[in-house]
Structure 1
């Protein structure tokens, strides 16, 4: 019933927004995307392997004064039938419609990222290292649903997000039964960003189930990003997931990361991360040392070269990673 009430509330807010203002603007469209070419050698592999991480095409724009849209596809997923949510085509990363209901408050419907995980919710084109961290084994990933969200409210830059999604997110897609009518994935996030120097967020979610002999999956976490002296950037995040059905995703993840701009186009980055789950064989601790070269310091993520060395406490998991990114 809680999930149903949440969906009804989102529907009411959406209707209020639609009737609150007149539709006047002409539709717009903007095409952009990015390519990430990689060269990777792991300790168990004698040679370097050339590949791509992401090949994305994105269309987004405004339909009118109240509505905007986003469609993102990943050509690296053309041979993967079903995405991590267990339902939608993997090639469709985002299919989102946003309705403005008041000032900076919007309602999104469709497929998009759940508000779980600071690193996960960062754009794949704006990462500080070649790969996202070990915590991606715990987050809820993208899903189909509806979410109310806002940002940059007040002097402290308050933001929030609250959504209801289909049952069974990433790593929990066997939890719940859509036919039951009560088995939704719910997720929320609260954040502040005072003076754009310190950003702090906390998030929480649950994959609900009414299936016999199943337990709901819950997750919570906190993350922060601090910018000092314009050159120094510090990030950290902790998350904890309780998942009785999956020992590989039942546990905690923590990372601390620092980057320093030696020059507008040169940035070394260091990250420590530790994943600790019920299945001891999946426990892992990594130290990553990275070097980023930004070809356009005025737009650092437009064209960049990233070189990482990953030292892992698991046998055979040390790696050298190189990525060249172009955003258009």
Structure 2
């Protein structure tokens, strides 16, 4: 079965499963009202009323429980099974200000446009308190499986996850796209972080301050093994958060990921300039052949003080090559600062060691103005090393976020390439204005 057919099949199964959850609840309150009316009119005795009321309450306790507060979930009467559905829609628009490189040529492919960045549906489940699962499919640009895993948390302070999910690497990568500060993740994270792959991982924590996670991974569902064989990697992450309360967060972390290459013995690093409507990459190593393995190292730090949030990461990729080819080292970093103009703050989730959903102190539609946030990020990605000339890009992004409700956000970003050295577009300094409307549930 081809990967396209598999994705379409999983997408259809997900939609079918979601439709099964839309069974209407019984009108239990209406039943009790009818009994009250019959008793008040003398049509039934008090004894008969109590009998029918008891039967109604017993039947109610055996019914499936449906929750619609901020999410849609179905729970069995005995509490052993729980299903939930979720999703996200992100619509983007971008206007580009092109620039010429050192040879006087404009960067190709930077055309104004729009796209449905993400259109995801997911089903999650929890069984007997210790088993969990998630299936998430992205329909933007065609059905594509994202998360597809089961987990077990029956051990004391230890969880195991098996399937297709994100490797434990990078604070920004692990923070959901629903909650990241800017429309796109930073260039070093996009270029180096391993993201989702098939594997098995374990998670634990100590003293409400330290988390440890690690696993063994193959390729992602979208990669497949095919004729190129499968690459394998080992990834681990540790975080230290001595303070993580509302409006007060200190986070430090480190991660390492070592991966061999498949039978093609190639690896490639590249990225856009933190915009996605255009597919043009200003920095790109192209295929690095005769590569034996790649080791990635990451350092991360973040802090929250009331309305102010600071975050930064440094990532390095060490490429080990064979057959007389020189090894290569590439790296990059970003620094982010954000500030809420309203009385709000950025929430932190200690368990996974990442940032969570902003819940505005006031809501548009209920007399409030929502949460307003301004942010700036400086990022640098260096894909030059010796004779390898992938390019070094320095970039500034400023942004404005309006959280109208807990699940509706509007975003505006302005990206400016400050310096581009080497690569195919040496000297070019294009810019982009981007806007997004997003909703999730």
Q: Secondary structure at the match of 2:140?
A: helix
Structure 2: gaps of 5 or more residues: 1-77, 99-108, 266-289, 344-370, 421-427
Which of 263, 278, 285 lines up with 2:342 in the alignment?
263
Q: What residue is the counterpart of 2:394 in the other structure? A: 285
Matched, 1:222 2:276: no
Q: What residue is the counterpart of 2:260 in the other structure? A: 208
Which of 119, 126, 129 lines up with 2:179 in the alignment?
126
- Structure 1 residues 214, 252: closer, same or farther in 2, change over 3 A? closer
Alpha-carbon separation, structure 2, partners of 1:237 and 1:106: 26
Q: Measure how far apart 1:209 and its partner are.
A: 5.3
Deviations 1:172-205 (A, max 9, x none): x99x944xxxx62110000122221101110001
Q: What residue is the counterpart of 1:99 in the other structure? A: 152
Q: Measure how far apart 1:133 and its partner are.
A: 1.1
- Structure 1 residues 207, 168: closer, same or farther in 2, change over 3 A? farther
Q: Secondary structure at the match of 1:115?
A: coil
Q: Secondary structure at the match of 2:82?
A: coil
Which of 56, 59, 83 lines up with 1:29 in the alignment?
83
- Structure 1 residues 199, 187: closer, same or farther in 2, change over 3 A? same
Q: What residue is the counterpart of 1:13 in the other structure? A: none
Alpha-carbon separation, structure 2, partners of 1:150 and 1:317: 44
Give 1:1-328 correspondences, 5 Å limit. 26-44=80-98, 48-78=112-142, 91-135=144-188, 136-151=190-205, 153-156=206-209, 158-166=210-218, 177-178=229-230, 184-196=232-244, 197-208=249-260, 214-228=291-305, 230-244=306-320, 250-264=329-343, 265-278=371-384, 279-296=388-405, 299=406, 302-312=407-417, 313-314=419-420, 315=428, 317-328=430-441
Alpha-carbon separation, structure 2, partners of 1:210 and 1:316: 36
Deviations 1:45-92 (A, max 9, x none): 78641212111111112022221001111001416xxxxxxxxxxx10
Alpha-carbon separation, structure 1, partners of 2:203 and 2:181: 25
Alpha-carbon separation, structure 2, partners of 1:169 and 1:259: 35
Deviations 1:10-42 (A, max 9, x none): xxxxxxxxxxxxxx8522111011111111112
- Structure 1 residues 145, 28: closer, same or farther in 2, change over 3 A? same
Q: Secondary structure at the match of 1:137?
A: helix
Q: Which of 1 and 2 has greater Rg?
A: 2
- Structure 1 residues 169, 27: closer, same or farther in 2, change over 3 A? closer
Would the aligned equivalents of 1:140 and 1:169 in 2 still touch at CA under 8 Å? Answer: no
**Where do 4+ consecutive residues of structure 1 move more than 4 Å?**
167-171, 209-213, 244-247
Q: Measure how far apart 1:103 and its partner are.
A: 3.5
Alpha-carbon separation, structure 2, partners of 1:95 and 1:294: 29
Would the aligned equivalents of 2:164 and 2:221 in 1 still touch at CA under 8 Å? Answer: no
Q: Measure how far apart 1:235 and its partner are.
A: 0.2
Alpha-carbon separation, structure 2, partners of 1:115 and 1:323: 28
